[in-house]
């Protein structure tokens, strides 16, 4: 008997007002049977959806993954700016119609920047790219009053600009100065990287590319091969093998934010 038929028969019983004591056991049975089919029904629906679309994105961000990056600062060539310009082109910031020409240079967006660090004792310098470190315990998410600053199941930290009120607490909380605030109206943004006045933004780890199974733009453009991207939870991934092999550090590891971006050669 189908669920519809059962419901109909139960409706008839209720409508007719014939639920006497003898019928109670029958009613209980019907209730239980109906309950079982309700449990089955969502299962059937789920199977239907998963078989209809084979794209892996149907399931969304996978919590078994943790996307991360390993940056070899010894290979990062002094004066090279490839990662920054690739990010600008990919995500539409710092150039063209989205260059924020009315803002001060300190106010303009910097999703990624190159930083030169110098050892005070030896005078040795290293250049490294610095961007959102996609922390496992992100302080920006902790302080956000609206829930706009959020972490995906696969560890990518994003700003939900639909509900960002532009208070900039997250910018204060970020130890890496990774976030920017848009001060002026923009137009002709990239279709997959919306950005607009009054909201905070940062490196998205090129989430639109990662969801397609591609590498972030900066990693792809790095001519010296200093940047390695992958799933650091997967022990067989290239990045995990490399992390096991070479010593790497998290910047400001003392803060306990556990960044997913690690640096070697520092």
Q: Tell me which of 190, 234, 240, 250 binds other proteins, using CB under 8 A.
A: 190
CA atoms within 13 A on the CB side of 257: 24
The distance of closest approach from Cβ of residue 164 to other proteins in the complex, given in angstroms and rounded to an integer, is 10
Length of the chain: 266
Binding-site member from 9, 12, 59, 77 for other proteins (CB under 8 A): 59
Cβ 167 vs Cβ 213: under 8 Å: no
Residue pair 91/204 in contact by the 8 Å Cβ criterion: yes
Of 23, 53, 224, 235, which one interacts with other proteins (CB under 8 A)? 53
Using the minimum distance from each CB to other proteins, give the nearer residue, 175 or 194: 194
Q: Which of 181, 170, 116 lies closest to 146, judged by CA? A: 170
| Torsional class of 13: left (φ above 0), alpha (ψ -120 to 50), beta (otherwise) | alpha
Q: Does 170 bind other proteins (CB under 8 A)?
A: no
Q: Which stretch binds other proteins (CB under 8 A): 28-36, 99-107, 192-200, 256-264?
A: 192-200
- For 228, the 3-state DSSP assignment is strand
58 binds other proteins (CB under 8 A): yes
Could you say which of 171, 192, 221, 233 contacts other proteins (CB under 8 A)?
192
Q: Which stretch binds other proteins (CB under 8 A): 74-82, 170-178, 180-188, 227-235?
A: 180-188
**Strands, E assignment, 58-160:** 67-72, 112-118, 125-131, 149-151, 157-159
> What part of residues 235-264 is at the interface with other proteins (CB under 8 A)?
none
Nearer to other proteins, 130 or 202 (CB): 202
Check if the beta carbon of residue 3 is closer than 8 Å to that of residue 35.
Answer: no
| Residue in 14, 34, 40, 60 binding other proteins, rule: CB under 8 A | 60
User: Quick one: DSSP state of residue 96?
Assistant: G
Q: Does residue 51 bind other proteins (CB under 8 A)?
A: no
Q: 132, 124 in Cβ contact below 8 A? A: no
**Residues that bind other proteins in the complex, under the rule CB under 8 A:** 53, 55, 57-61, 150, 152-154, 158, 160-162, 185-192, 194-199, 207, 211
């Amino acid at each position: 008997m189908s669920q519809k038929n059962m419901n109909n028969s139960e409706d008839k019983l209720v409508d007719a007002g014939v639920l006497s004591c003898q019928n109670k056991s029958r009613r209980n049975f019907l209730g239980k049977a109906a309950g079982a089919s309700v449990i089955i029904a969502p299962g059937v629906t789920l199977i239907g959806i998963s078989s209809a679309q084979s794209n892996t994105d149907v399931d969304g961000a996978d919590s078994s993954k943790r996307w991360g990056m390993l940056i070899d600062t010894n290979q990062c060539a002094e004066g090279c700016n490839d990662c920054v310009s690739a990010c600008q082109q990919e995500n539409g910031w710092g150039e063209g119609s989205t260059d924020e020409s009315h803002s001060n240079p300190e106010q303009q967006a910097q999703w990624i920047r190159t930083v030169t660090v110098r050892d005070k004792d030896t005078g040795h310098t290293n250049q490294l790219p610095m961007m959102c470190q996609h922390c496992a315990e992100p302080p920006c998410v902790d302080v956000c009053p609206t829930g706009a600053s959020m972490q995906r199941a696969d560890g990518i930290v994003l700003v939900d600009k639909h509900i960002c009120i532009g208070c900039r607490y997250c910018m204060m909380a970020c130890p890496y100065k990774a976030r920017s605030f848009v001060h002026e109206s923009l137009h002709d943004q990239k279709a997959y990287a919306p950005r607009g006045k009054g909201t905070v933004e940062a490196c998205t780890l090129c989430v639109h590319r990662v969801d397609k199974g591609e590498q972030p733009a900066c990693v792809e453009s790095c001519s010296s091969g200093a940047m390695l991207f992958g799933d650091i939870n997967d022990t067989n991934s290239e990045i995990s093998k490399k992390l096991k092999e070479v010593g790497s550090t998290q910047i400001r590891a003392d803060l306990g934010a556990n960044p997913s971006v690690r640096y070697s050669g520092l």
